[in-house]
Amino acid sequence: MRQEVHQKHAETALDSWWEGYRERLSEGGSHRVETFIRSRTPTAGTHSRRTRLFRTLERATNANRIERYDVTLLGEKLCLCDYCRAFHDDTALLDTVERLGSWRDGEIYSTGFTERETESSITGERYSDVVPPEIALGIYVDDSLAGVFPCTAAGGDFRPEAYLDGLAAGRLAGIGD
């Protein structure tokens, strides 16, 4: 019983996010989904999940539920030290990962971006890095980050599929028609 109440509270928090998202889109905003993947090769056991996710994004685009989706390869981990940040060819990617990892809207916030401290007992080196989730969705309205999946809403966890399930269920029906 307690778990049902907890899940209902989490779904209510996610419903609030959907309402805000609909409102922004109803004001004429463009929307796209940026799919962030950790590796070109899915982790063992996740190939069919990734395939379903991309097929669902294609169907959502073809049905005009989203304007477009893009895919960005993040890599296994990104070093956050000042030297690597300055040396990195694409500092915008690090900024994007930091925005994704720190995104929050009321009771809902992104999860899955794990910041770590690494220390070598041999060399004494110490640095920070971030490990992204296997798959993450950045939801953008007018090029502004409006949502991130995976996320936690009021203690309930929502995978990227939760966003896609919402699209398929018609959560944005009537907008832009």
Closest-CA residue to 101 (of 93, 142, 91): 93
Sheet bearing 126-131, strands edge to edge: 78-79, 126-131, 114-119
pLDDT in tens, 100-134: 999 999 889 999 999 999 888 999 999 899 999 99
Element (H, E) at 47: helix 47-62
Domain ranges of the chain: 2-168
Give the model's confidence band at 89: pLDDT under 50 very low, under 70 low, under 90 confident, else very high. low
58: phi then psi, degrees, rounded to nearest 5: -60, -45
pTM (two decimals) = 0.88
pLDDT in tens, 23-62: 988 887 788 999 999 988 877 777 888 999 999 999 999 9
Q: Cα–Cα distance between 42 and 50 in angstroms, integer?
A: 7
Q: Cα–Cα distance between 93 and 75 in angstroms, integer?
A: 11
